[in-house]
Structure 1
Amino acid sequence: MSLTLFAVQTLNGLQLGLLLFLIAAGLTLVFGVMDFVNLAHGAQYMVGAYLAFVFYGVTGHFGAALALALVAALALGLAMEALVYRHLYARSHLDQVLATFGIILILTEGATAIFGPAPLSLPAPEFLSGTVPLMDGFGYPVYRLAILAVGAAVAALLYVLVRHTRMGMRVRAGASDPAMIGALGVDIDRLFMGVFGFGAMLAGLAGALAAPVFAVEPHMGDNLLILAFVVIVIGGIGSIRGAFLAALIVGLVDTLGRSFSTDLARLVFSPSVANDVGPALAAMAVYLLMACVLFLRPQGLFPARGG
C-alpha cells in the first residue's frame, strides 16, 4: 500500500462523495419535506449526463452544455412533478415506489432507444484537461479536482440557502413538520414543486459533471441511487448538513474499501482466502456502516431538526 495510491484513492473517494451529495441533497429534501419516496432520482442523474452529451454535440462547448443541461434538468423535474409526482403525494409509499420505478424503466429504456446501449463519452473542457503533480511524480487530473471544487461550492451555497434564507426556513420547517407550515399559510404545492425541481437540477448537475469521468450509459445511476439512500439514512432524512458529511464518509469508505480491503484481509487470512474475503468486505462496508449508525442513532447523525 503506497502513500501515493492512498492519496489518489482518498481524492477519488472525496470526488465520489461530493457527487453522491449532489444526488442525495435533492433526495433527502424530497423525502424529508414531502415524505415522498422517489426511486427515479438516480435516473435523473443519468438524464443529466445525457443532456450534457447532447448539448455538447450542439454547442461544442462544455460550459454551455453544462448550463443548458442544468436548465433542461430543472424543466424536466418541474414537468415530472406537475404531471406525475403531484398525483402521488397522498398515496402510500408502496404506490410511490411502484410509480417511480416505472419512471426509471421509461427513462432508461428511452435513453437506450435514443442513444443505444453502448457507453458514450464526453470530453473534459480543454482548460481542465491537464494534471496536477502529486508525490512520486504522479499527476492527478485537473478535471477531477474541479469536480471537488464545484461540489464543495454547491454544498456551501446550499448551506447558505437552507440556513439563512426565507425559502430555506420553509424547507427546514417542512422537513420537521410539513402539516404545520401548511396551516400557517405556506403554499405547499409551490414549495413541493420547487423542491422537486431543485432536486432534479442537482442530480442533473452530478450527472453532467460525471459524464467526462464515467461512461454515459442508461443504467449509470442505479448503483449511485442505492448509495444515495445510504447517505440520507446515515446523515438524517431531511438534513443537508447530514447528507454532506455522510456522503463524504460513504465515498471514502466505498473507494478506500474497494482499493485496500484485499491488502488488509491479507493481514489476517492467507493470500488465496484474502482475495475472496477482501472484495466481499469492500462490497458490504457502506452497508455495515449504515447498520452501525442505525443501531446507535436511528434518526441519523444529523437529523433535520438539528441541521
Structure 2
Amino acid sequence: MLDLFILQVIGGAQFGVLLFLVAAGLTLVFGIMDFINLAHGVLYMVGAYLMASFAAMTGNFWFGLLLTIPSILVLGVFLEVTVFRKLYDRPHLDQVLATMALMMMISEVVRMIWGAAPMNVAMPDSLSASIPLIGPMRFPVYRLAIIGTGLGVALFLWLVIQRTRIGMLLRAGASRRDMVSALGVDISKLFMLVFAFGAMLAGFAGAIVSPVLSVSPGMGDSILILTFVVIVVGGVGSIKGAFIAALMIGIIDTVGRIFGPIVLREIMEPAAAAQLGRTLAPMLIYILMAAVLFFRPAGLFGRSHAK
C-alpha cells in the first residue's frame, strides 16, 4: 500500500507541475492586467498539436520542442496585438464573452487542420526508461523530467519577479498600474510581454505532456477549469501561490481518486464504496477551494495577505 501511495503522490506532483505551467501565465495576466482570458486553455492544446506536428516533421522530439516554443510565443504576441489589447479596458463580462468566442474559434481551426482523431508523440529514447520505487512498482523517467522542468521554471520565475527590474515593474504594475505608466514605462509593451510569456508557458506545458497524453481537440478545456481553481486557491497574481496550490491540487486529485474508494471500503460495502468514491473524488479539489475561500477569501497568498 505504501508503494502505491508514493507512486500516486509522485504522479500527482507531475500533474501539479503541469497545472502550474498553465496557471503561472494566467495568474500574471489576471493579476497584473486584470484580464480574464478563457482562451488560455486552447494555447495549451495548440502547443500539444504543434509539438505533434513538428516532432513528426523533424523525426526528433527535441527539435519539435525547439520549434514549438517560439511558435507559441509568436502566436501569443499575435493574439495580444490583434485581439486582447482591444479588450483590456472593457468590462469583465465583455472579456469573458470575447475570449470564449475566441476559444471556440481556435478549437474549430484546430479540428480543421489536424482533424478530430487523437495524435501521439513519441517519447525521447533518452527519457523512456523507468526507475524502481518501493516494491515492484516503477516510475517513468520522463514524468520525473516533467517534475524537474516545472521546478526549474518555478525557480526561474521567482528569480525574475523578485530579483530583476522586469519583475519589479510587474509587481508594481499589479498594484499601481497608473503610477508605473506615469514613470515612463510603456504599459502596452509590458502587457504584451506578460501575455506572450504566459502563452508560451501554456504551450510548453502542452508540448511536454504530449508524449504522456493523447493530443486531442478539447484537451485544454478541462485543464482551464483546474487552472482557475489553482489561481483562486493560490491567490490572484501570486506565482508562489500558483506553485503551491498546483502541487496541492495535483496530489489531492490524483491520490483521492485512488485511495478514496479504498478508505470508504473500510466502512461500506465494496460496490457502494467504489460508486461513492468515484463520485466524491473529483469534488475534493472544489471542497479545498471552498475551504480556502471561506478562511482566506484572497487565496493562500493573495494580495491582501502579502507582507
Which category describes the TM-score, using the shorter chain as reference length?
over 0.9
CA–CA separation in structure 2 for the residues paired with 1:178 and 1:192? 11
Question: Structure 1 residue 246: deviation in Å?
Answer: 0.4
Note the 1:49-88 alignment, pairs <5 A: 49-88=48-87
- Tell me the residue number matched to 1:46: 45
Question: Structure 1 residue 137: deviation in Å?
Answer: 2.9
CA–CA separation in structure 1 for the residues paired with 2:271 and 2:80? 52
CA–CA separation in structure 2 for the residues paired with 1:284 and 1:196? 31
- Tell me the residue number matched to 1:252: 251
Counterpart AA for 2:207:
A
CA–CA separation in structure 1 for the residues paired with 2:72 and 2:170? 21
Gap regions ≥5 residues in structure 2:
none
**Identity fraction in percent:** 53
1:231 and 2:262 aligned: no
2:14 aligned counterpart, secondary structure: helix
Alpha-carbon displacement from aligned partner over 1:183-218 (angstroms, at most 9, x marks no partner) = 222211001000000000000110001000011001
Counterpart AA for 2:156:
L
Counterpart AA for 2:208:
L
- Tell me the residue number matched to 1:140: 139
- Tell me the residue number matched to 2:33: 34
CA–CA separation in structure 1 for the residues paired with 2:262 and 2:176? 47
Counterpart AA for 2:104:
L
TM-score, normalisation: structure 1? 0.97
Pairs aligned (count): 306
Note the 1:137-216 alignment, pairs <5 A: 137-216=136-215
Alpha-carbon displacement from aligned partner over 1:124-155 (angstroms, at most 9, x marks no partner) = 11111111111223221111111011111111
- Tell me the residue number matched to 2:120: 121
CA–CA separation in structure 2 for the residues paired with 1:169 and 1:123? 40
1:301 aligned counterpart, secondary structure: coil
CA–CA separation in structure 1 for the residues paired with 2:9 and 2:103? 32
Contact 1:172 1:304 in 2 (8 A): no
Q: Which shifted more, 153-162 or 107-116? A: 107-116
1:140 aligned counterpart, secondary structure: strand
CA–CA separation in structure 1 for the residues paired with 2:138 and 2:8? 13
TM-score, normalisation: structure 2? 0.97
- Tell me the residue number matched to 1:106: 105
2:135 aligned counterpart, secondary structure: helix
Question: Structure 1 residue 304: deviation in Å?
Answer: 4.1
CA–CA separation in structure 2 for the residues paired with 1:177 and 1:278? 46
Alpha-carbon displacement from aligned partner over 1:155-178 (angstroms, at most 9, x marks no partner) = 110110111000011111122222
CA–CA separation in structure 2 for the residues paired with 1:128 and 1:142? 6
- Tell me the residue number matched to 2:292: 293
Alpha-carbon displacement from aligned partner over 1:8-47 (angstroms, at most 9, x marks no partner) = 1111100000000000000000000000000011100001
1:23 and 2:22 aligned: yes
CA–CA separation in structure 1 for the residues paired with 2:76 and 2:213? 23
Contact 1:254 1:286 in 2 (8 A): yes
2:131 aligned counterpart, secondary structure: strand
CA RMSD of aligned residues (A): 1.2
1:277 and 2:293 aligned: no
CA–CA separation in structure 2 for the residues paired with 1:39 and 1:304? 22
1:136 aligned counterpart, secondary structure: coil
Counterpart AA for 1:130:
A
1:221 aligned counterpart, secondary structure: helix
Question: Structure 1 residue 6: deviation in Å?
Answer: 1.0
CA–CA separation in structure 1 for the residues paired with 2:28 and 2:211? 27
Question: Structure 1 residue 62: deviation in Å?
Answer: 1.1
CA–CA separation in structure 1 for the residues paired with 2:32 and 2:140? 38
CA–CA separation in structure 2 for the residues paired with 1:182 and 1:276? 56
Question: Structure 1 residue 276: deviation in Å?
Answer: 1.9
Q: Which shifted more, 180-189 or 23-32? A: 180-189
Question: Structure 1 residue 259: deviation in Å?
Answer: 1.2
1:132 aligned counterpart, secondary structure: strand
CA–CA separation in structure 2 for the residues paired with 1:178 and 1:285? 37
Gap regions ≥5 residues in structure 1:
none
Runs of 4+ aligned structure 1 residues displaced above 6 Å come to none
